[in-house]
Structure formats: C-alpha cells, structure tokens
Structure 1
Amino acid sequence: MDAVDPVTLRLAIFVLAVFVGYYVVWSVTPALHTPLMAVTNAISSVIIVGALIAAAAPALVGESDAGSNFARGAGMVGVVLASVNIFGGFLVTQRMLAMYKKKDKPQPKGDGS
C-alpha cells in the first residue's frame, strides 16, 4: 500500500475546510452574526500577536539577511491586514448592535396646563 503524498493530503484538507467554512458561515442566522463577529475579532487579535512576533523576531536575534527581511515584511503585512479586520469588525458590530437598540419615542407636546 502506497502512502499518500503529504502535499496532496494537505491540499485536500484545505479544500474541504474552505467548503465547510463557507457553508458554516452562510448558514448562521442573523441573530448570531454579532457574536460571530466578536469571535472573529478575538481571533484576529491573536493573529496580530503572532504577526508582531514574526516582525520583531529577526531584530531580537540580531539577524539581517534576506530571510529576516522577508519575515519582517510578512509580519508587517500581517499586522496591517489583521488591524483592518479588527477595526472593521468592531465598526460592523457597533452598527449591528445599534439596529437592536430601542428608539426613543418623542414625547407628545402638552397644551401647557
């Protein structure tokens, strides 16, 4: 029995994860979108920590070769993209929560007596 090529196995897992993720996200009811956005923001904050480590690691070790410059650039791109995702997620979450707030009804004007 031959072993499966690791690249083929990882590619198959990635494709299945894309399909499962697509169907899971699109089947979420509208009432659950706000909690889903909050979890997405939390995941993005973890991504920022990893990107900061990737950007700072070459400077901490004292390396300055092409690989460390690539790590700094990739880390910087990761920080920027995750920051956009976090701040955009917070804006969308605030707008969604504002839709559920009760609007104040204007007080009827009395005749002054």
Structure 2
Amino acid sequence: MTPLLMADLTVFTLSVLVGFEVISKVPATLHTPLMSGANAIHGIVLIGVMLLALTVVDGGGYLLLGVAAFFGAANVAGGYAVTDRMLGMFRSRP
C-alpha cells in the first residue's frame, strides 16, 4: 500500500466519521432543508466525476467513477424529490 493511498484512505475514513457525527446531531425537523442544500454539493460531485473521467487510464478507475456518479446522481434526484414533497406541504389545497 502506497503512502498516497494510505493518506487518501485516512482522509476518507475521517470524513465519514465526522460526517456521521455532524448529521446525527441534527434534529429531524432540519433534515429536509439540509437535503435541499446538499443538492448543490452533489451537483459539484458530479462535475468532479466528469473532470476525473478525463484522467482515468484503467478499468478500476472507471468502476470507481461509475459508482461515484451513480451515488451523486441518486442524491441529487432524491434531494429534489424530498424538497418538492416538502414544498407541496405548504401549497394551498383547492
């Protein structure tokens, strides 16, 4: 295992742990507005996937990019669906 890979895995592990701690402290009433804000972040992830696709040279890299693109797109679509449902609760009924 190369030192660069070890550093990348360390940063990834720490970001997962910190993210879990931060999100677990948020009250349930704030999760939907946070999901709306996360749409922009996952949109940036998708742009990063497209930029990284230019530098990939092997099948493993394409596999990881495909997984990242799938999860980023799923989060964007899910976030918009949740936001639309939340906003629908505030529309006046006919």
TM-score of the alignment, normalized to the shorter chain, above 0.5: yes
User: What is the aligned partner in structure 2 of residue 110 from structure 1?
Assistant: none
Secondary structure in 1 matching 2:89: helix
User: What is the aligned partner in structure 2 of residue 35 from structure 1?
Assistant: 33
TM-score of the pair, normalised by structure 1: 0.60
Match of 1:23 among 17, 22, 25: 25
CA gap of 1:14–1:56, structure 2 versus 1, over 3 A, is closer
Task: Show structure 1 runs of 4+ deviating over 6 A.
Answer: none
Match of 1:74 among 64, 71, 77: 64
Indicate the structure with greater helix content.
Answer: 2
Q: CA separation in 1, counterparts of 2:71 and 2:81?
A: 15
Q: CA separation in 2, counterparts of 1:53 and 1:19?
A: 30
Q: CA separation in 1, counterparts of 2:16 and 2:80?
A: 29
Taking only aligned residues, the RMSD between alpha carbons, in angstroms, comes to 2.7
Q: CA separation in 2, counterparts of 1:71 and 1:45?
A: 20
Equivalent pairs counted in the alignment come to 85
Matches for 1:1-113 after TM superposition, within 5 Å: 13-14=14-15, 17=18, 18-24=20-26, 27=27, 30=29, 32-58=30-56, 63=57, 68-104=58-94
Q: CA separation in 2, counterparts of 1:15 and 1:97?
A: 30
Given residue 83 of structure 1, which amino acid in structure 2 is its aligned partner? Answer: A
Q: Unmatched 5+ residue regions in structure 2?
A: 1-5
Larger Rg: 1
State the structure with bigger RCO (CA 8 A, min sep 6), 1 or 2.
2
